[in-house]
Structure 1
Amino acid sequence: MMASPGFTFKQFHVAHDRCGMKVGTDAVLLGAWTPVDSARRILDIGTGSGVIALMLAQRSHPDTHIDAIEIDANASLQASENILASPWPDKVLVHHVSLQAYQSEPYDLIVSNPPYFGAGQSFSDPARATARHDGALSQHELLQSAARLLAPAGRLALVMPKEEGERCCALAAQYGLHCLQIDRVRSTPSKEVNRLLMLFSRECVGVECNEICIHSAIGSYSERYIQLTSAFYLKM
């Protein structure tokens, strides 16, 4: 049977034709980078097609449970279908609910590739607007909810554009969260940093700073990017 339009990884396929946000580099980076070794309960906020939840299902302990929440009905349904068709149908559960209304026991790990565009950015597709605009989920609401849902030793992993990420780091302390690690992402060594991968906790122990270049100076994928994503991409 031919797979639905979407993106095929080594161990699973992600259909995304009914999602406002398609599978992209931000999601793949977050799913590959986020530390999962000690996590037995994981929450994926704004799961979209379910790609990050599925990447974490592949990487995490067999006994780990992953909840994935999505406010858009079509995306929520498609994420559920992607998970049922994956090798981990019993490991991930999709909930059609807003983060603000979501209630649960605490999580060891929360991940999100959140919306970040302000109201001035317009999209013709309403689903894409919901996925990209921060009107449905501001940084304040994201951090407040993460602090509410994190276990005492839990971690919060986010990917954001550079300016939004820097603002999030400054804001997080208001909610008792502190940045443990920042990986600055640039497409090539000569390009400016355009994304931040950030890991937060309730501990305030200083920040470890690293850098990821997606491509080398000659245009091929960098060794670091290959190391992160080789378990997923068919071409690696």
Structure 2
Amino acid sequence: MKKPFQFKQFTVHQDRCAMKIGTDAVLLGAWVEIENSVQSILDVGTGTGVLALMAAQRSSAEVIDALEIDADAYEQAVENFEASSWGDRLFCYHASFQEFMSEIDDQYDLVISNPPFYVEAYQTHDTQRNLARFEDALPFEHLIIGAGKLVSPVGKLAVIVPYTEEERMISLASHVQLYPERITRVKGTPTSEIKRSLLLFGRETSAIVTDELVIEFERHQYTEAYIDLTKDFYLKM
């Protein structure tokens, strides 16, 4: 069994999850603004449960729901939730987003997702890993349409996507009256190309706050901005 991933305030077991904890999820979980007024949060495609756990650590939200289609990942997320200090606020549904969206009447103050975004050309023979990694398991269109229904009138949607998909996500979101408020573009090093876009959407059009985040100066030499962002979570920060 692989060792669990130890954060400062919680532990994540991930041996039964196809997709392990990566920088993307931690970036989104640390970056997203969670105001004191946020009382309900939904994590779409929770995997290990790390985003929901980070939201629980950072907020006093009474309801933190998570959604996971893969049976093994769902069971592991539930176990990770129950082992945490916030088990009474965390709940995981075992369903596809499409099923959940059609059956749920609730709305959320914050919907967060680190969605799968590898195109079908790179599919593997591992069905579980494909579900976790590839966009056809949760197309961006489905995520945005669902968010349009599930984000409350004062709520927000926060996602991390490849930089190449930033414009498409913004265009899709506009069709369900979700508009970008904040964009952070992420680079691995000062000289590398932009790799990811962190996007925060709200219900009102506003001036968009944009900035850039560089993770490392060089291998394992992290920038002050990245350290400051993740220091409440990573043990070594």
Q: TM-score, normalised by structure 2?
A: 0.94
Where does residue 97 of structure 1 map in the other structure?
95
Where does residue 168 of structure 2 map in the other structure?
167
Where does residue 223 of structure 1 map in the other structure?
224
CA distance in 1, matches of 2:207, 2:129: 36
Q: Are residue 192 (structure 1) and residue 193 (structure 2) matched?
A: yes
Structure 1 pair 124–218 and aligned structure 2 pair: CA distance change class (3 A): closer
Displacement of 1:52 in angstroms is 0.5
Q: Is contact 1:116–1:164 with CA below 8 Å preserved after alignment? A: no
CA distance in 1, matches of 2:219, 2:145: 43
Displacement of 1:123 in angstroms is 1.8
Which has the larger helix fraction?
2
Displacement of 1:139 in angstroms is 1.1
CA distance in 2, matches of 1:125, 1:8: 27
Q: Over residues 118-170 of structure 1, what are the superposed CA-to-partner deviations in whole Å (9 max), with x where a residue is unaligned? A: 22111232111001111121111100000100100100000011112332112
Where does residue 149 of structure 2 map in the other structure?
148
Where does residue 59 of structure 1 map in the other structure?
58
Q: Are residue 16 (structure 1) and residue 14 (structure 2) matched?
A: yes
Q: Over residues 153-209 of structure 1, what are the superposed CA-to-partner deviations in whole Å (9 max), with x where a residue is unaligned? A: 100000011112332112211121111110000011111110000000111112110
Where does residue 72 of structure 2 map in the other structure?
74
Q: Which consecutive residues of structure 2, in runs of 5 or more, have no partner in the other structure?
A: none
Taking the TM superposition and a 5 Å limit, the aligned residue runs for 1:99-114 are: 99-102=97-100, 103-114=104-115
**Letter of the structure 2 residue corresponding to residue 88 of structure 1:** W
CA distance in 1, matches of 2:148, 2:34: 18
SS of corresponding position for 2:122: coil
Q: Over residues 19-46 of structure 1, what are the superposed CA-to-partner deviations in whole Å (9 max), with x where a residue is unaligned? A: 1210000000001011112311000000
CA distance in 2, matches of 1:165, 1:121: 21
Matched pairs, number: 233
CA distance in 1, matches of 2:4, 2:126: 18
Where does residue 43 of structure 1 map in the other structure?
42
**Letter of the structure 1 residue corresponding to residue 3 of structure 2:** P
Where does residue 86 of structure 1 map in the other structure?
84
CA distance in 2, matches of 1:87, 1:125: 34
**Letter of the structure 2 residue corresponding to residue 49 of structure 1:** T
Q: TM-score, normalised by structure 1?
A: 0.95
Q: Which consecutive residues of structure 1, in runs of 5 or more, have no partner in the other structure?
A: none
Q: Are residue 133 (structure 1) and residue 96 (structure 2) matched?
A: no
Among the aligned pairs, what percent are the same residue?
A: 46
CA RMSD of aligned residues (A): 1.5
CA distance in 1, matches of 2:183, 2:148: 19
Q: Over residues 35-81 of structure 1, what are the superposed CA-to-partner deviations in whole Å (9 max), with x where a residue is unaligned? A: 112311000000000001001100002x4310000011110000000
CA distance in 2, matches of 1:222, 1:88: 31
CA distance in 2, matches of 1:205, 1:143: 19
SS of corresponding position for 2:180: strand
